[in-house]
Chains A and B, each alone.
Chain A
Amino acid sequence: MAHDDDSKALDRASQPSPGLAVAVSDPVQNPGLPPHRERMTDRDPKAMKAAVRTVYTLFYLSVAGSIWAVAAYMLFPIESGALIDVRHNNMFIGIGIALALLSIGIGAIHWSKAIMSDKEYIEERHPTRGKDETRAAAVQAFAEANEESGFGRRKMIRNSLIAALVASVVPGITLFRGLAPFNTPENPIAGDPVALLSHTMWKKGMRLARDPDGTPIRAADVQIGNAVHVIPQPLAELGHEEGYLEEKAKAIVLLMRLLPEQLIEDENRKTWSYDGIVAYSKVCTHVGCPVALYEQQTHHLLCPCHQSQFDVTEHAKVIFGPAARPLPQLPIAIDDEGYLVAQSDFTEPVGPSFWERH
């Protein structure tokens, strides 16, 4: 019996299989309910009286708490805007409400534990499955419905109905395409995420400017060891309605100046830096946090979200953490007035990897 796996047969006989369970031939006997132990409040009328007193005192205390909360609402205004006033308002109303609630709660539980009868009752359990007649009746109901409708017999009707129901969901799903915009005459790539992700607002000759005020940066002003948070100069004039945050989310750059000999540059990227000044996308290639922390001594950039580290001396390659790609480099130069400008847009998409990236 112990390893009987023909559980279906047993189920049918409404005798659930014990599976791998084995019965103990001589199980230890349950001693049955222990004798009831009286509480203090059952034995001593004084204790009962005290308990009753405690409970109603708590309930009245709750009323006091509620009154206090309303009083505190009026006594502690916040209209000055001072943080301390807000704190007081928060705290004193809160204390009142907490007192009101906790007193009700503690009182009610004390009532149930000390005053209400603590006689334990026994209720029998019954198998969760329905009674055999009920189950038979349920099966009968389905059988009759099936017979009368021909649901099982007329397969064409049934299958076509299933097809229709499934198909009817599709238009609803289609509507959700509208969650994101389509291409428009004004913006021919508005509905193309891949195209949008592939470009930022950087253009040839666009000045590098400080984040967030938008003042342009002269190469001469960037000291060795400096790290400057950079945006494209025109971004500062962009309003929030005009895509400021969306453009900024892609275009932010970190500018650093190192000793030119510290840079280990690829042959084809030698012209992308200017006299030890390099510019890298500030958007982490892992999941897109701003890589805002620059370790001046080691020339490492650190992303505070997941601790990816990038080595600025070697084209921001990943030296630690979950990021998979170096930060894209922004090719820079200086214009006639000595201001730093971009040579072009980034040559690859910035930010996290995505499926269509290559």
Chain B
Amino acid sequence: MSTSTVHEETKSKPLGGRFVGAASNYIDERTSISGIVKELGRKIFPDHWSFMLGEIALWSFVVVLLSGTFLTFFFQASMVPTHYNGAFPPMRGVEMTAAFESALRISFDVRGGLLVRQIHHWAALVFIAGIGVHMLRVFFTGAFRKPRELNWVIGYVLFILALAEGFTGYSLPDDLLSGNGLRIIDGMVKGLPVIGTWTSFLIFGGEFPGSDIVGRLYTLHILILPLLVIAFVALHLMLMIINKHTQFAGPGRTNDNVVGYPMMPVYMSKMGGYLFIVFGVIVLIASFFQILPFWEYGPYDPSPISAGTQPDWYIGFADGALRLAPPNLDVVFLNHTWSFGILIPVLVLGLFIVVVAVYPFIEAWITGDKREHHIAQRPRNAATRTAIGVAGVIFYAVLWAAASSDLIATHFMVTMEGVIHTLQATLILGPILGYFATKRICIALQKKDREIVLHGYESGRIVRLPGGEYIEVHQPVDVYDRWKLIDVDNYEPLVVRPNAKGRIPWTENVRSALSRWFYEDRLSPLTQAEITEADSHQQHVSINTEETVAHEVLDAHQRAGVAEDQIVSSDGEKIGETPNVPSSVIAKDPVKKPKNPADGRE
């Protein structure tokens, strides 16, 4: 850059004043950051409430990082035996590990320490929950389709990492509950064929519980796992920027554009504000709701335990899977113990996790669709996928509920065995029923949408004609809102054809069967011709209705002998009639009134 241009820039008053201008110039001349600002500063993001679910996860992770860093200044990740002699009387003089002791000190001897610890724990829960709902949003709207399959996998890895972060953090205070949690992990690991015994031996640095595990989990919890999370979050966001965010179908929105507000200033303000809201809500929860009162459980001891033992909710599905395994499944084969009571749940969970992770590729293979998809689908318009998703959710939910089988039994006064057997049956039948019910509901909703598009919505306004006939007035849908109801995608099941060699590979047969499963009972999209016809029909009907009404009114008046000019319009008095508008539909003209347009409401 020549000196003359610099001179020129500084001469005209720069944006933000002389200092900001000079600072920006200084930085840009050393980083060429203006290019990034140019690219991203006014980047357009679409708006929808469900797009902020991922933000919840992101911002709660920021909260986790900040609060966790504070905790590291006080926490001792050591299992050296020691005695507590701080302010909290019930625990004074009790023998415990340094980890437990420092957790007590954070809670009772550091002002605001309990708050930060509770913020950290609550934020971690919100983090995982945020990831969960974000994943559901992405799944059910098909936002994982090309070009976002990889980002789905990255996000899924983040979900697993978050679970690992949760579990490792949960185990750090070395209290009775977390110790039992580790004991369960130890038992599960030991049940693995070939590697189990040694893996457990190495993890715990000898026999369970040993004196190493807290330090090792700590390294994972504050170093390796957070690094991975940060790296994957960075990747996740980078790909989001490169792919641009999906948007829902709407007027003016196409697969080739993004309609929304610019990064600066709107999203900067909205997202930044949202960080503070997520943070604030978490702090609010942490100030009022106690979480993990580990001092009530005491330090870990292998002998005591309390009834109603449960892990943190996000590990529940794994614990529930263990509970639902049938009894007596140990098999001694080849002089080795195969503990299928553990292997089956582990395999089922592993399979579930893998299937969810690779689902985008399965669907892409079935459809063979290599185009990019940037319009988030309405779940009902992808009936089979939505049904599969619901089946998966039910499967997960049953496993999750099973983690509380004992509490369900005691709270509802039913037998423990009954609860387990019911859940075992539900684990198999629930997803199947859920699948079929959801698919039918989705297709019914598609039909309802079509009905509304073609014939307007039922206004709920019943008109009695002077002749005694009752009609319900159907209101046409606003053309912009109507567009949201119209599904434009159309797929047909694969018809298998021999390839160049005259053969049909078995993979194609599988694909064809799967594609039939996906697309056989699907409505084909509406055409413009159908819409136009429906519009003209609608117009015709409403004109017709008005004519009939007018005609009948006139007839009635004539019969009654009232002259035409004596009739006074009743529109003067407002009835306050509000049409019953479906939430997704906004009426353009809610109530048709022949006279006195000043009263027309919008």
Chain A interface residues (CB < 8 Å from chain B): 2-3, 5, 7, 10-11, 16-34, 73, 77-81, 83, 86, 89-95, 97-109, 111-113, 116-118, 120-125, 127-128, 176-177, 179-181, 190, 193-194, 196-197, 211-212, 229, 231, 239-241, 243, 245-246, 248-250, 252, 282-284, 286-290, 292-293, 302, 304-308, 318-325, 351-358
A284 — which chain B residues lie within 8 A by C-beta? 187
Does chain A have a CB within 8 A of B371?
Answer: yes
Choose from A19, A90, A98 the contact partner of B370 (Cβ within 8 Å): A19
Does chain A have a CB within 8 A of B460?
Answer: no
**Contact between B277 and A102, CB atoms less than 8 A apart:** yes
A292 — which chain B residues lie within 8 A by C-beta? 303-305
A3 — which chain B residues lie within 8 A by C-beta? 492, 494-495, 497
Nearest-neighbor residue (CB-CB) of B342 within chain A = A287
**Contact between A304 and B329, CB atoms less than 8 A apart:** no
Nearest-neighbor residue (CB-CB) of B406 within chain A = A307
List 19 contacting pairs A-B, 8 Å CB cutoff, sorted by A: A28-B527, A29-B528, A32-B252, A86-B114, A90-B287, A97-B115, A97-B287, A105-B275, A109-B269, A111-B273, A122-B258, A122-B259, A125-B258, A125-B372, A193-B197, A249-B208, A308-B327, A322-B329, A354-B197
**Contact between A245 and B322, CB atoms less than 8 A apart:** no
Choose from A24, A120, A239, A240 the contact partner of B490 (Cβ within 8 Å): A24
Interface residues of B in 396-413 (CB under 8 A from A): 405-406
**Contact between A193 and B287, CB atoms less than 8 A apart:** no
Does chain A have a CB within 8 A of B553?
Answer: no
Question: A104 CB to closest chain B CB, in angstroms?
Answer: 4
- Point out which of A123, A190, A241, A252 has the most chain B C-beta atoms below 10 A from its C-beta: A123
- Point out which of A16, A18, A33, A287 has the most chain B C-beta atoms below 10 A from its C-beta: A287
B226 — which chain A residues lie within 8 A by C-beta? none
A124 — which chain B residues lie within 8 A by C-beta? 256-257
**Contact between A101 and B270, CB atoms less than 8 A apart:** no
**Contact between B114 and A127, CB atoms less than 8 A apart:** no
**Contact between A27 and B527, CB atoms less than 8 A apart:** yes
**Contact between B269 and A81, CB atoms less than 8 A apart:** no
A290 to B267, CA, bound (A): 53
Question: B13 CB to closest chain A CB, in angstroms?
Answer: 24
**Contact between A31 and B251, CB atoms less than 8 A apart:** yes
Does chain A have a CB within 8 A of B543?
Answer: no
Does chain A have a CB within 8 A of B600?
Answer: no
Known contacts A20-B369, A308-B327: A91-B184 contact under CB 8 Å = no
**Contact between A101 and B115, CB atoms less than 8 A apart:** no
Does chain A have a CB within 8 A of B193?
Answer: yes
Interface residues of B in 122-137 (CB under 8 A from A): none
**Contact between B336 and A358, CB atoms less than 8 A apart:** yes
Number of interface residues of B (CB under 8 A): 148
Q: Among B228-236, B376-384, B481-489, which stretch is in contact with chain A?
A: B481-489
- Point out which of A3, A20, A24, A282 has the most chain B C-beta atoms below 10 A from its C-beta: A20
A319 — which chain B residues lie within 8 A by C-beta? 327
Known contacts A20-B369, A29-B528: A322-B323 contact under CB 8 Å = yes
Nearest-neighbor residue (CB-CB) of A100 within chain B = B280
Known contacts A122-B257, A212-B301, A286-B341: A24-B208 contact under CB 8 Å = no
**Contact between B528 and A353, CB atoms less than 8 A apart:** no
**Contact between A24 and B197, CB atoms less than 8 A apart:** no
Does chain A have a CB within 8 A of B587?
Answer: no
**Contact between A21 and B252, CB atoms less than 8 A apart:** no
A98 to B289, CA, bound (A): 14
A243 to B206, CA, bound (A): 11
Choose from A20, A287, A321, A325 the contact partner of B184 (Cβ within 8 Å): A287
**Contact between B273 and A26, CB atoms less than 8 A apart:** no
B278 — which chain A residues lie within 8 A by C-beta? 105
**Contact between A354 and B190, CB atoms less than 8 A apart:** yes
**Contact between B372 and A128, CB atoms less than 8 A apart:** yes
Choose from A29, A231, A355 the contact partner of B192 (Cβ within 8 Å): A355
**Contact between A105 and B251, CB atoms less than 8 A apart:** no
Question: B76 CB to closest chain A CB, in angstroms?
Answer: 15
Choose from A104, A196, A287, A353 the contact partner of B276 (Cβ within 8 Å): A104
A304 to B323, CA, bound (A): 11
A97 to B337, CA, bound (A): 55
B493 — which chain A residues lie within 8 A by C-beta? 20
Choose from A125, A318, A357 the contact partner of B327 (Cβ within 8 Å): A318
Question: B595 CB to closest chain A CB, in angstroms?
Answer: 27
**Contact between A289 and B370, CB atoms less than 8 A apart:** no
A238 to B43, CA, bound (A): 67
- Point out which of A5, A108, A197, A318 has the most chain B C-beta atoms below 10 A from its C-beta: A108
Known contacts A180-B202, A181-B205, A305-B184: A90-B114 contact under CB 8 Å = yes
Question: B537 CB to closest chain A CB, in angstroms?
Answer: 16
Does chain A have a CB within 8 A of B325?
Answer: yes
Interface residues of B in 287-327 (CB under 8 A from A): 287-288, 300-309, 319, 322-327
**Contact between B287 and A98, CB atoms less than 8 A apart:** yes
A282 to B300, CA, bound (A): 16
**Contact between A245 and B300, CB atoms less than 8 A apart:** yes
Known contacts A120-B259, A121-B44, A231-B303: A105-B492 contact under CB 8 Å = no
**Contact between A287 and B186, CB atoms less than 8 A apart:** yes
**Contact between B261 and A120, CB atoms less than 8 A apart:** yes
A102 to B276, CA, bound (A): 6
**Contact between B112 and A93, CB atoms less than 8 A apart:** yes
Choose from B284, B308, B339, B494 the contact partner of A102 (Cβ within 8 Å): B284
Interface residues of B in 49-92 (CB under 8 A from A): 81, 86-89
